[in-house]
Structure 1
Amino acid sequence: MNGRGATLLTALLLLGSTAVLARPPDAPLAPSTTQELSAAKTYTVTRAPIEPLHLDKPKLPDLSGYSAAAVRAKIEHSPAGRVTVRRMLRQDALKEFVGGNNRLAEWVRRQRGMPQAVFIEGGYVNLAELAQKLPKQYFSQTAKGVYLARLPIVVAQGATLHIDRQTLRLSQERGAFLINDGKLFIEGSQLIGWREAANAAASFRTAKEFRPFLLSWGGTETYIVNSTVTSLGYDESKSYGLNISQYSPDMHMRMRRAAPRGWLIDSEFVDLWYGFYCYEAQDIVVKGNTYRDNLIYGIDPHDRSQRLIIAGNRVHGTKKKHGIIVSREVNDSWIFNNQSYDNQLSGIVLDRNSSNNLVADNEVYQNRADGITLYESSNNLLWGNRVVDNARHGIRLRNSVNIRLYENLAAGNGLSGIYGHTKDLSDTDRDIALDPFDAKVSMIVVGGKLAGNGSSPLAIDSPLSVELYRVDMLMPSKTSGISLSGILGERQEEILDLLVRQQKAVRIDPVESQAELQQ
């Protein structure tokens, strides 16, 4: 962290937990009671019980087992595999790419004939063995430890491809790509989309221009460790760069493959259309990597992926959208100890009904939209994140309920430190049947600091409920002191009296909710 974010953090450490109030300390206090204080407008402010707000610090997954040594121990070097070349048509692993005239035409044009692919079957193969077994016009060693593939490569079910301290270049001109339908190990190596005409990486030019890619299908295992992956992917289905994806629904019904799995650890991913994408994957580990200068997203787990670990990564320079995003029912996952900064939109996003996730101890700063954003994603816990100097809100919740915000720091963000709101998405291009939503928002904020944010430390509109306890509000941007926004601003005197002066927990409820509880 640097610049303004570091300055703000230093100021916070010097200030400690001193709150600055919007009224002078000798002003008369508002009355307080364990009962309803006021029923102005549609909300009540009450003193909340403290005990239900207690939450032990969450236990994070042990990462020690996800190592280069553990990856190497998984490799089975026998039996030896077979290598063949045959047509791409009528191959299950390739139907996504030759099933339509437009996609088939891509490889007909690049191969100047009926397209073919290399198939690895039956066991273990490495790059040196591929070079020995294939014609040089299809696969060759161009320098010591450097290999050029000029056809797509398919690792079949039951086979293993091992790239060990080598460089594999996939020719853009010839339409090369890598499909894993078995097991793939990349250790201490480079995987590069390669532009032969320029004798250089196939750096991004336009969204629809073919670039090589890596895709691992359902039932596979993929391990990438201490490696660099660069210049892959473009704007076509399953061709986004590095993809770990279950088969399409029709194919999955026929093939019945298990969810794909894999580890991506201590590696670098640069200039990919999506730095990482998965679909209906399970138990993926994305640990200790650098994602920089990728096009659309840095890390993007999608549809119904479960039990993911995204930890210790550095994600920055994403050009179009977010640094880290999980979207559409990505549940029961851990996002912790990451740095996400200098991305075009938000640093971390939970999206489209992604629930039961823990977002903890991340540093999210200097992004061009929000720091951490939750869109239509209820029942999540954010703990101990440092969200500093983002252009819009520090932490933003939209149409999300039961969001617990514990011990977070939101400082120096352009708008609110924490902002909750509802939005009717019915008249947008959203597929409501696929991505339903309720225009409701609620939150619990316990501990942490909200400091020096541009418009307000805390704002929420039309909540089902808000509970606040031990929240330090420091360094107000307005000379008059703290100024809460939304319905909190309307009841600011009562809220600050309970929260700051009496150091009690505060609950803000709609009047109708209170009436329902009393029935």
Structure 2
Amino acid sequence: MTEQPDKIKQRFGIGLLCSGVLVGALQLAAPWVQAAESEPTQTLKQAKTYTVTSAPIEPLHLDTPTLPDLSGYTAEAVKAKIERSKKGQVVVRSMLQQDALKDFIGGDERLREWVKRQQGMPNAIFIEGGYVTLQDLAKRLPDNQFRQVKPGVYLARLPIVVAQNATLHVDKNVEELRLSQERGAFMVNDGKLFITDTRLTAWREADNGPATFRKPDEFRPFLVSWGGSELYISDSVVTSLGYNTSKSYGVSITQYTPNMHKRLQRKEPTGWLLNSEFVDHWYGFYCYEAADVVIKGNTYRDNIVYGIDPHDRSHGLIIAENTVHGTKKKHGIIISREVDDSWIINNKSYDNKLSGIVIDRNSINNLIAYNEVSQNHADGITLYESSHNLLWGNKVLNNARHGIRVRNSVDIRLYENVSAANALTGVYGHIKDLSATDRNISLDPFDTKISMIVVGGTLAANGSGPLSIDSPLSVELYRVKLIAPTKSTGISFSGILGEKQEEILDLMVRRNLAVLIDPVERQTELQD
């Protein structure tokens, strides 16, 4: 149903060099632009002499990217995956010595948490051996562990664990499943978990309402789906999960921790999250070393740290047709640390505390296309230390800082994007030495290099100008519309490349040619 990861590089043409050189940036950042940054930007100033020449047009051509077929990701397809032929069993046993729970009871402090909440050695509900519904749980368990509080509404007062080779289905006959905050309830999926046409809510019994966020370290129920598992959520509302503790962020699809994975050898976890609403979670969605996850048609609203956050070494992801807004601390959508070969397409990300979409920490070979990214309180689309990515046909409008920002990344291609009415620069590229920060350089290496192509699209009415780039390797520009300048002097470049402004505009605007801008040092290297 989705394209294989090895085809994505062919489809995007990622990693190829245009006109025989790396493609880079346009304009050295003016000091007053950097001063407008809300975080300090330590750049590496290099004295370079740049030349401007026309470049061949043919190598700049890219076919419109082929998007994955989304038609098969439906509620009906989810339900078709449910295996009901074998009935499962429900048992209650100790949380101790259980692989699926070791991350949550390891160490005296975390064990004390559940001893205190359960007022004794902690137990959990285990679904094993086949298919189980919440109605089955209510029939087999006492009210102090799991009960129906009114028709269709169930309250879990113990953790629920779906074991390997088992299936739990929270279906349309369930109006709401509530997970008790006071009693330390949460959900762990080690098999298959289906949540369809219903509501899942972290529940504060003292308030008889959702366990809305109060502070980062306060326990709130969560859902985690482990290595080897499958998680499917469709046409549902999921509310108020997660807090600031590892693997307890909200809704998570994650491989086991390295030591556990070495022993258990589970395959990469996966799942589909479709046409659902995720509200007031610590992270709206998180994944780690997951594969082929589909996040389609959802609303992520008023989550605390991130809306959608795929992380370490996840790949083959489809993040499509989602609306993400109101994230309170950081970004709307972020992929970080080697999240590769994925699609971020046709999403709306707006009114988030920082950026709308972020590609971070060596995440490569991704397509970011046809997204509407607006009114975010920092940048629109941000790429940090993530080379070989393609941005196509995005609308990046009215963000509080830069429209599209690129740092320490090469072979970034911007095709047919509109970046307009952003407070600072339409496209801003820069290098930064991160070695003096708290970054783990061995885990997250970087090069202070930047290059990009800009083809087609429009840069309009951005507060600090259309493009600004610090110490590029090189740049190619073609068919870029530069309109509606905010300055009375009109469209202008600054810094070293300002000296070449007439040549750039003559080639690109008057003569409709592709422009190659690169440093003399680079040309000497190529000749040698």
Say whether the fold is shared (TM-score over 0.5).
Answer: yes
User: 1:144 Cα shift?
Assistant: 1.1
Instruction: Quote the residue 1:115 is aligned against.
Output: 122
For residue 101 of structure 1, report the CA deviation from its aligned partner. Answer: 1.0
Equivalence for 1:146: 153
Aligned residue runs from structure 1 range 156-305, under 5 A? 156-165=163-172, 166=174, 167-305=176-314
CA distance, structure 1, for counterparts of residue 69 and residue 300 of structure 2 = 22
Report the equivalent of 1:46. 53
How many residue pairs match? The answer is 480
Match of residue 454, structure 1, among 437, 446, 463 = 463
Equivalent in the alignment of 1:410:
419
1:87-121 CA distance string (max 9 Å, x none): 10000000001111111111111111111100000
Tell whether the 8 Å contact from 2:453 to 2:475 is kept in structure 1 after alignment. yes
Partner secondary structure for residue 175 of structure 1: coil
Contact map agreement 1:163 1:185 (CA 8 A) in 2: yes
- Kindly state the Cα deviation for residue 78 of structure 1 after the two structures are TM-superposed: 2.1
Counterpart-to-counterpart distance in 2, 1:327 and 1:314: 20
Aligned AA for 1:268? E
Report matched runs for 1:429-444 at 5 Å. 429-444=438-453
Distance in 2 (alpha carbons) for counterparts of 1:457 and 1:489: 13
Q: Distance in 1 between matches of 2:495 and 2:64?
A: 30
Equivalent residue number for residue 386 of structure 1:
395
Q: Structure 1 CA distance, aligned partners of 2:497 and 2:424?
A: 15
For residues 486 and 441 of structure 1, do their structure 2 counterparts lie closer, same or farther at Cα, with a shift above 3 Å needed? farther
* % same residue: 72
State how far apart, in whole Å, the 2-side matches of 1:424 and 1:485 are: 23
Corresponding letter in the other structure for 1:252: H
Partner of 2:40: none
Q: CA deviation at 1:486?
A: 4.6
**In 1, Cα distance between equivalents of 2:169 and 2:495:** 57
Contact conserved, 1:458 with 1:485, CA < 8 A, in 2? no
Aligned residue in 2 for 1:81? 88
More displaced 10-residue stretch of structure 1: 104-113 or 200-209:
104-113
Match among 362, 371, 375 for residue 366 of structure 1 = 375
> Structure 1: where are the runs of 5+ without partners?
1-39
Give the conservation status (yes or no) of the 8 Å contact 2:356–2:374.
yes
Taking the aligned partners of 1:266 and 1:60, their CA distance within structure 2 comes to 19
Equivalent of 2:498 in 482, 489, 503: 489
Deviations 1:428-479 (A, max 9, x none): 0000010000010000000000000000101111011110000000100101
* Structure 1 position 292, deviation (Å): 0.4
CA distance in 1, matches of 2:381, 2:496: 22
Distance in 2 (CA, whole Å) between partners of 1:58 and 1:106 is: 50
After superposition, what is the alpha-carbon deviation per residue over 1:61-87, rounded to whole angstroms, capped at 9, x for unaligned?
A: 010000001001000112101111011
Offset from partner CA, 1:309-359 (integer Å, 9 cap, x none): 000000000000000000000000000000000000000000000000000
> Match of 2:97, SS?
coil
Q: Is the 8 A contact 1:459 1:488 kept in 2?
A: no
- Counterpart in the other structure of 1:354: 363
User: Deviation of residue 42 (structure 1)?
Assistant: 1.4
Preserved CA contact (<8 Å) 1:459 1:487: no
Contact 1:370 1:395 in 2 (8 A): yes
**SS of equivalent residue, structure 1 residue 494:** helix
2:408 partner letter: N
Counterpart secondary structure, 2:300: strand
| Equivalence for 2:6 | none
Residue 434 of structure 2 corresponds to which residue in structure 1? 425
Counting only pairs closer than 5 Å after superposition, residues 465-476 of structure 1 correspond to structure 2 as: 465-476=474-485
Query: Equivalent residues in 2 for 1:303-382 (5 A)?
Result: 303-382=312-391
2:135 to 101, 105, 128: 128
Q: Does the aligned pair in 1 maintain the 2:352–2:377 contact within 8 Å?
A: yes
Give the partner amino acid of 2:156.
Answer: A
Q: Which residue of 1 aligns with 2:36?
A: none
Query: Deviation of residue 41 (structure 1)?
Result: 5.1
Q: What letter matches 2:153 in structure 1?
A: V
- TM-score, normalised with respect to structure 2: 0.90
Letter paired with 1:43? Y
- Counterpart residue identity of residue 63, structure 2: D
Pairwise CA RMSD of aligned residues? 0.9
Contact 2:338 2:364 in 1 (8 A): yes
Residues 117-151 of structure 1: CA distance to partner in whole angstroms, max 9, x if unpaired?
Answer: 00000000000000001111000001111100000
Q: CA deviation at 1:480?
A: 1.1
Q: Identify the residue that residue 32 of structure 2 maps to in structure 1.
A: none
Residues 397 and 420 in structure 2, CA contact (< 8 A), matched pair in contact too = yes
* Cα distance in structure 2, aligned partners of 1:353 and 1:425: 14
Q: Higher relative contact order at CA 8 Å, sep ≥6: structure 1 or structure 2?
A: 2
Deviations 1:173-206, CA, capped at 9 Å, x for gaps:
0000000000000000101000001000000000
| Matched residue type, 2:70 | L
Asked if 2 retains the 8 angstrom alpha-carbon contact of 1:359 and 1:381, the reply is: yes
Question: What secondary structure does 1:107 align onto?
Answer: helix
**Counterpart secondary structure, 1:491:** helix
Q: 5+ residue gaps in structure 2? A: 1-46
Quote how far apart the aligned CAs of 1:487 are. 4.2
State the alpha-carbon separation in 1 of the partners of residues 242 and 311 from structure 2: 17
- Tell me how far apart the structure 2 counterparts of residues 408 and 509 of structure 1 sit (CA, whole Å): 23
